[in-house]
Amino acid sequence: MIKTATHEHIAEAAEILKNGGLVGMPTETVYGLAANALDGKAVAKIFEAKGRPAFNPLIIHVSDMRHAQEYGEMSEYAQILANAFWPGPLTLIVPRKTDSGISDLATAGLDTVALREPSHPVAQGLIKTSGLPIAAPSANKSGSLSPTTPAHVHDSLGDAVDMILAAGACTVGLESTVLDVSGVVPVILRPGAITAEQIGELLGLEIAIAEAENEAPKSPGMLLKHYAPNTPVRLNAIDLEEGEALLAFGSDKFMGIKNGGRAADLPDEMRRNLSEEQDLQEAAANLFSMLKELDQSGASTIAVMAIPQIGIGVAINDRLSRAAKRD
Ligand code: TXA
Ligand code: MG
């Protein structure tokens, strides 16, 4: 059931976690499906609820750097990065501490662990009140879009989650940047709001973004077809075919429909704008909800206007190209 994230309900949710249950947890990026990372059975419920392949490792959410150090080896790079970007949308892959107590299922048996301190006050409250490291993938069925509202979580997972803490829409709207700092050179496994430029500037290094792979990827989140609506997605649209829905960025004033008409003539449910002001942050926050809405419009295809490949635009284009990938 969905409950407003008051102090009392956060305390109730903390009890659910301690008793091995699942909680829908708001973070600044997307809603997470939270379980006690120390409890293998609870973590198993996450995989069951999501229908997720068991080899996919989960992000462990912690309250601060010291908490992170209980579970992972925070190298100098890792500490510099955490100091600069935590709390916030950056996940660090670091060597796992052998005596960490984190369930092997949560790390998929890897010798590394993904750690993140979320900035959302409700996520912070839940971690602190429970005193637990919290394993939480995005709170959706595997292969579908990440949820950015409590209703998305409910629609995707229903009663498989014991409680959803509702705190409105997520401000970032895209999953965190995943940065592997377990090797010699840091590599971005998944682009997000913290960009390669920001990380590179801080460390004085050129930061590479790993290529998405189709098979046996290092980060299973890199699977090409991962963020997929049911409706086909067409990228970099400059005009519309009949029957297509439009996901605009900036003005759609000059968008024409082939065989006549303008985008402005489309029925409301076939037309969304990520950001009329061409604000990339706003676009990121709107991306998943608008894709979901257009997915339900009955359109033959979702045509998406070009998004500039700068800043968080890199992460938006990463998610869009996955959504467009058909098998
Ligand atoms: O914003 C987020 O990161 C959200 C919120 C809830 O925090 N969580 C999220 O989790 O997106 P999930 O499970 O959907 O994505 C975790 C990503 C996956 O791509 C996974 O493969 C990768 O992190 N990952 C986790 N542990 C890893 C590891 N040890 N090595 C490499 N990749 C890892
Ligand atoms: Mg996910």
Q: Does 99 or 130 have the greater pLDDT score?
A: 130
**Residues 297 and 269: beta-carbon distance below 8 Å:** yes
Residue 214: predicted pLDDT: 47
CB of 207 closer than 6 angstroms to any ligand 1 atom: no
> Rounded to the nearest whole angstrom, what is the distance from the C-alpha of residue 144 to the centroid of ligand 2?
8
Neighbours of ion ligand 2 (CB under 5 A): 138
Of 46, 17, 16, the residue nearest 140 (C-alpha): 46
Q: Is the CB of 190 under 6 A from ligand 1?
A: yes
- What are the tokens at 60? 């462990």
Task: Report the C-alpha gap between 226 and 238 in whole angstroms.
Answer: 25
Q: How far is the CA of 142 from the centre of ligand 2 (A)?
A: 7
| Summary mean pLDDT of the chain | 92
Is the Cβ–Cβ distance between 152 and 164 less than 8 Å?
no
| Distances from the Cα of 232 to the Cα of 74, 133, 264, angstroms | 42, 38, 22
Neighbours of 294 (CB within 10 A): 25
What pLDDT digit, counting tens, does each position of 35-91 carry?
999 998 898 889 889 886 666 789 999 999 999 999 999 999 999 999 999 999 999
Phi and psi at residue 126, to the nearest 5°: -70, -40
CA of 223, nearest ligand number = 1
- Work out the pLDDT band at 311, boundaries 50, 70, 90: confident
Share of the chain above pLDDT 90, in %: 75
Judge contact between 127 and 156, C-beta under 8 A: no
State if residue 114 touches ligand 1 by the CB under 6 angstroms criterion.
Answer: yes
Please state the atom number of ligand 1 nearest to the C-alpha of residue 91.
Answer: 3
- All domains of the chain in start order, with CATH: 2-209 (3.90.870.10), 233-324 (3.40.50.11030)
Instruction: Indicate the pTM of the whole model.
Output: 0.86
Residue of 23, 178, 188, 222 to test ligand 1 pocket, by largest number of atoms within 8 Å of CB: 178
Residue-wise pLDDT for 59-70, tens only, equals 999 999 999 999
The pLDDT tens digits for 194-227 are 999 999 999 999 999 997 654 444 555 555 555 6
Would you give the distance in Å from CA 289 to the centre of its chain?
A: 13
State whether the beta carbon of 58 lies less than 6 angstroms from ligand 1: yes
User: Would you state the pLDDT for residue 327?
Assistant: 57
Both tokens of residue 12? 């109730």
Residue nearest to atom 12 of ligand 1 (CA): 137
